[in-house]
Structure 1
């Protein structure tokens, strides 16, 4: 298995798998709700627009991986390294804070969502056995602990390059539950053959929807879509796993095209078909709108869980690499960082697990802390909408645009310079209004929040 992993590592296909795993997250299941907030005019338009912006800026960022020349320049192994090489040290701090808060916030959200998926499996089985009128409430804390335990074990993988098979599995699972959700929505639509939804989305005055709530939810929907297309903050780290030749930027551009193309196809399909099926009453998580056939709903939720197990590591390995490199430059002479321990894996002839105390203890503490935060803030998905809206402009647009202008030496005031800066300003405006909507939703949720209580 190790030889197979080595043979197929560092190619356009493994990069595509990493890209799909990073981009397609559980956020895809909220897209029908997001489309419902904006309606048939602006919902699908927003999905396509965010895809085009993300893809274009990914092309710009790919050319900045090596500097000062995109083909023969020096490698920059991290997003922050690219910022340091192209813009200087003063931009590194802000970029690093935003990037790593976003990475960590995402895996907190994955912890919560994984518990929700496991709870959904238990609930659908209860409904199938006892009827849909039965009381089938359940708590998610134990499921978060189980998920955290799995991630503690997986966190001992050395780096991002060593989890290629895990990333491929996660990418396959993301396709699986997206297909199932799409199929269930198609079946629901076929059962009534009624074209639901309106041009402007959820209507004011119905179900207690006030004008302000309509506006906030529309803005939050933009943040959710922006978060769903989160990709730039991992692009450089994925590109750093590629073999050369061919040039890494050429391979990464192909991987971005394939990965974002597949992602956009699923996003638009599920967002539109889900809205057709549910109309303005689309649930926040489209899978929670189905209980039958219970076995298929269970498979979809288990696929979500398996995807999040892999996606968690794609994000976490980037964080591990950052703080371990930072610590090693300061106290590298101690055995805590250098001494390698070997633990033989039972029932195998030559397999063994190699680790240092640094990785064993610090990575375990990281996962434990992340799990506890997820248990304390069970509404954290609303916070992720805020993180997505905040990070969209600086990480996805501003820094790729600014670094490309610097490296390509685009003349100030030229047509291309004006177009790139205009794109950055539009993205800033979208981030601001979506952040406002997310903050309003967080404030509302705080009124009813209970620590260590996630119930379904």
Structure 2
């Protein structure tokens, strides 16, 4: 069959298959926007008030704005690399790694895989920790309301991590990314809800108690807070902001859910603009109002700073929304890794029936390898979360590790390769300068977060996380 007839076949209104022979994609810029918001507005939003406390009014605002603009720019570059060599009619790249391999070669393809799936694994570990903290907060809130403010309502987080893991094992059996749109829509709604609750509580606190002790440069240096400590916290805060905007590593996978007409890159650019713009508005409100409410003593998770007493039910709703949102966000980030391992295994052992055979149970596709592998992944990440349940520093390290390679370097290199940007041209030079500047930011953020993690580990016993 000619390529022309295949293309025509892919665009017939009642056709079941796309131009590449795969089941017809049905996603739109609306569903892609939901996926992006689900991936972007995650646990990172909870630490932004703390980031402002380290950076101050000026640096905090500028940092958020810069990361927003850079992420928007590089994401739009990446949308044109879903198809190669032409962004509209070229061959599809189903994953981020496929796009790198098609444009940059095998070596960078392997490096991208290490970075992408390492980061995805790390974020799912972080989401396990964050969800457990929110579930524990609900338990504590209800305990204080029932037994009084003086009651001992401390609780171990491990049991909540196990509950979260059991739910994820069930959700992980969804065969592929394309079937997650309803879950992403619900998760996106939840992320808006708890962000709005945090904003509302911040405003109420400001009205009731006034603006907290803030400054242009953030938390001041004093006898209890040295200049060196200020520097480390500032570096860690940069990592937290970088993490808050990280989603490029699943952009191609999200774009692969879009239907073919209008062209995927045009739809994805709209979705990217909407997703990042909406996220930035909420980030700025949460960061600014959270800092104004708590001042230089802003907690790492600003929702926990409002206490568990009054109004306890509103704090409960916010934390329930976090739990529901991260249930979906975990899958949005884990599914690309699941798919990569399963596709690689099928190519490696095509005759192995445990890997290739699909069974239908109650109308649902079932595969022995998929069940075993995905269950094992969830269990392992949960155990790691129990060993290292550190929120801020872990988030900062993930952000530092994610931002430059996956959100800046590869998108820029992919675009310049596909668009055939001439070496040492004006465009090439300023893009390299941008990449180098972002690399420096990522390195200092990684150093600050690593130092914080080392400090936390020295005073912590594994499996003993308590809220």
TM-score (ref. length: structure 2): 0.93
Matches within 5 A, 1:411-422: 411-422=422-433
Contact between 1:62 and 1:252, CA under 8 Å: does it hold in 2?
Answer: yes
Q: Deviations over 1:372-427 (max 9, x none)?
A: 11112222652332121022111100111111111111122222112111110110
Q: Which residue of 2 aligns with 1:155?
A: 172
Q: Which residue of 2 aligns with 1:230?
A: 246
Distance change in 2, residues 1:336/1:258 (3 Å): same
SS state at 2:464 partner: coil
Q: Which residue of 2 aligns with 1:253?
A: 269
Asked if 1:364 is matched to 2:381, the reply is no
Contact between 1:109 and 1:381, CA under 8 Å: does it hold in 2?
Answer: no
Distance change in 2, residues 1:381/1:36 (3 Å): closer
Q: d(CA) in 1 for partners of 2:214 and 2:60?
A: 11
Matches within 5 A, 1:33-48: 33-48=50-65
Q: d(CA) in 1 for partners of 2:337 and 2:136?
A: 28
Instruction: Show structure 1 runs of 5+ residues with no match.
Output: 1-5, 345-351
SS state at 1:323 partner: helix
Contact between 2:338 and 2:374, CA under 8 Å: does it hold in 1?
Answer: yes
Aligned residue among 323, 335, 338 for 1:305: 323
SS state at 2:136 partner: helix
Q: Deviations over 1:145-175 (max 9, x none)?
A: 1100000111110101111101111111000
Contact between 1:379 and 1:449, CA under 8 Å: does it hold in 2?
Answer: no
Matches within 5 A, 1:29-428: 29-194=46-211, 196-205=213-222, 208-290=224-306, 291=308, 292-344=310-362, 352-379=363-390, 381-428=392-439
Q: Which residue of 2 aligns with 1:437?
A: 448
SS state at 2:421 partner: coil
Q: d(CA) in 1 for partners of 2:228 and 2:147?
A: 40
Asked if 1:449 is matched to 2:460, the reply is yes
Contact between 1:107 and 1:312, CA under 8 Å: does it hold in 2?
Answer: yes
Q: d(CA) in 2 for partners of 1:142 and 1:400?
A: 40
- 1:210 Cα deviation from its structure 2 partner: 1.2
Q: d(CA) in 2 for partners of 1:211 and 1:314?
A: 40
Q: d(CA) in 1 for partners of 2:106 and 2:24?
A: 37
Q: d(CA) in 1 for partners of 2:398 and 2:357?
A: 38
Contact between 1:64 and 1:70, CA under 8 Å: does it hold in 2?
Answer: yes
Contact between 1:378 and 1:453, CA under 8 Å: does it hold in 2?
Answer: no
- 1:132 Cα deviation from its structure 2 partner: 2.8
Q: d(CA) in 1 for partners of 2:70 and 2:425?
A: 20
Larger displacement relative to structure 2 (27-36 or 379-388):
379-388
Q: d(CA) in 1 for partners of 2:331 and 2:226?
A: 41
Q: Deviations over 1:190-229 (max 9, x none)?
A: 11233641000011116x1111111000010000000110
Q: Deviations over 1:45-98 (max 9, x none)?
A: 101110100000001001111111111111111111111111111111111101
Q: Which residue of 1 aligns with 2:33?
A: 16
CA RMSD of aligned residues (A): 1.4
Larger displacement relative to structure 2 (194-203 or 304-313):
194-203
Question: Alignment length, in residue pairs?
Answer: 443
SS state at 1:190 partner: helix
Contact between 2:141 and 2:312, CA under 8 Å: does it hold in 1?
Answer: yes
Instruction: Show structure 2 runs of 5+ residues with no match.
Output: 1-22
Question: Structure 1 segments of 4 or more deviating over 3 A?
Answer: 6-9
Q: d(CA) in 2 for partners of 1:317 and 1:251?
A: 22
Q: Which residue of 2 aligns with 1:3?
A: none
Contact between 1:42 and 1:200, CA under 8 Å: does it hold in 2?
Answer: yes
Q: Which residue of 2 aligns with 1:349?
A: none
Contact between 1:8 and 1:14, CA under 8 Å: does it hold in 2?
Answer: no
Q: d(CA) in 2 for partners of 1:195 and 1:354?
A: 55
Q: d(CA) in 1 for partners of 2:210 and 2:222?
A: 26
Contact between 1:123 and 1:137, CA under 8 Å: does it hold in 2?
Answer: yes
Contact between 1:374 and 1:380, CA under 8 Å: does it hold in 2?
Answer: no
SS state at 2:398 partner: helix
Q: d(CA) in 2 for partners of 1:72 and 1:182?
A: 44
Larger displacement relative to structure 2 (182-191 or 445-454):
445-454
Q: d(CA) in 2 for partners of 1:282 and 1:195?
A: 9
